[in-house]
């Protein structure tokens, strides 16, 4: 019995050790793979920002003195990803399709769509990934603006609802600015 117990404990410990690297390698649930983007051949604007937790933590530390609000805002974030791609006749259809696919994927994965704007000038979706009733684990913003540019934003980390408007303010994301203090996450069922 003792030998059996020892073998069982050893096997469990071995399985746990093997599992840890797998868990460590998994990206956070709220991280969305938008895929790779390329600048348009017409030379329009292309912006890509991809900042991971190591640099975010350093930026929070550095911003502490000059911008304590920003430091508090970004501390605890794991990923900030922004893509701005200008649209032309060659890539518009492809980008619209990609945004549709991303939105469908978010809906399928249980993300809450909290802002929807669809008019001739812009097509906007703002999604939240909830953790429990009060915490937000991730944010995705998709914008196809005025047929001129597509914007994709993914922020992963410990987000408080009241901070969403501040994120919009600080990073000039219009549709988040408007959320204001009323942006409470819908209660998870």
Partner 1 sequence: MSPPLNTPAFRAVRGSVQTILLGGLALALASVVLLPLMVPAALYLSLRPSGSLDVVRQAVARSARVDLEPEIEIALRPAACALLRAGAALADHPPELHAALGAVRAVEVGVYQVASSKLSAKPRDMLGDIDRAMAARGWERVVGVMNAGDMVAVFAPQKIRSHRDLSLAVLVFDGSRLVAASIRGDPEAVIDLALEHAPRHHAPRLALTR
Residues within the interface to partner 1 (CB under 8 A): 38-41, 43-51, 54-55, 57-58, 61-62, 65-67, 82, 84, 143, 151, 153, 170-174
Q: For partner 1, give the closer residue by CB, 128 or 154.
A: 154
Structure tokens at 163: 């901070």
- Residue 177 Cβ, how far from partner 1 at the closest point, in Å? 11
Q: For partner 1, give the closer residue by CB, 21 or 189.
A: 21
- Residue 65 Cβ, how far from partner 1 at the closest point, in Å? 7
Q: For partner 1, give the closer residue by CB, 40 or 185.
A: 40
* Distance from the Cα of residue 57 to its chain's centroid: 17
* Distance from the Cα of residue 185 to its chain's centroid: 16
- Residue 166 Cβ, how far from partner 1 at the closest point, in Å? 13
Q: For partner 1, give the closer residue by CB, 25 or 66.
A: 66
- Residue 53 Cβ, how far from partner 1 at the closest point, in Å? 10
Other CB atoms within 10 Å distance of the CB of residue 32: 25
CA distance linking residue 97 with residue 114, whole number of Å: 21
Q: For partner 1, give the closer residue by CB, 71 or 131.
A: 71
- Residue 105 Cβ, how far from partner 1 at the closest point, in Å? 22
Q: For partner 1, give the closer residue by CB, 39 or 76.
A: 39
């Amino acid at each position: 019995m003792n030998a059996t117990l020892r073998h069982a404990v050893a096997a469990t410990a071995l399985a746990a050790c093997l599992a840890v690297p797998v868990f460590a390698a998994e990206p956070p649930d709220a991280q969305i793979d938008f895929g790779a983007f390329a600048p348009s051949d017409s030379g329009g604007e292309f912006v890509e920002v991809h900042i991971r937790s190591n640099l975010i933590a350093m930026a929070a530390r550095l911003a502490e003195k000059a911008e304590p609000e920003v430091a508090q805002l970004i501390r605890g974030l794991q990923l900030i990803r922004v893509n701005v791609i200008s649209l032309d006749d060659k890539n518009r259809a492809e980008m619209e399709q990609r945004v549709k696919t991303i939105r469908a994927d978010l809906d399928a994965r249980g993300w809450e769509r909290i802002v929807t704007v669809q008019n001739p000038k812009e097509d906007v979706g703002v999604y939240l990934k909830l953790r429990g009733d009060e915490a937000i684990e991730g944010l995705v913003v998709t914008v196809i603006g005025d047929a001129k540019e597509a914007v994709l934003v993914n922020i992963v980390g410990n987000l408080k609802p009241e901070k969403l408007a501040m994120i919009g303010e600080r990073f000039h994301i219009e549709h988040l600015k408007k959320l204001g203090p009323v942006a409470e996450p819908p209660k998870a069922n």
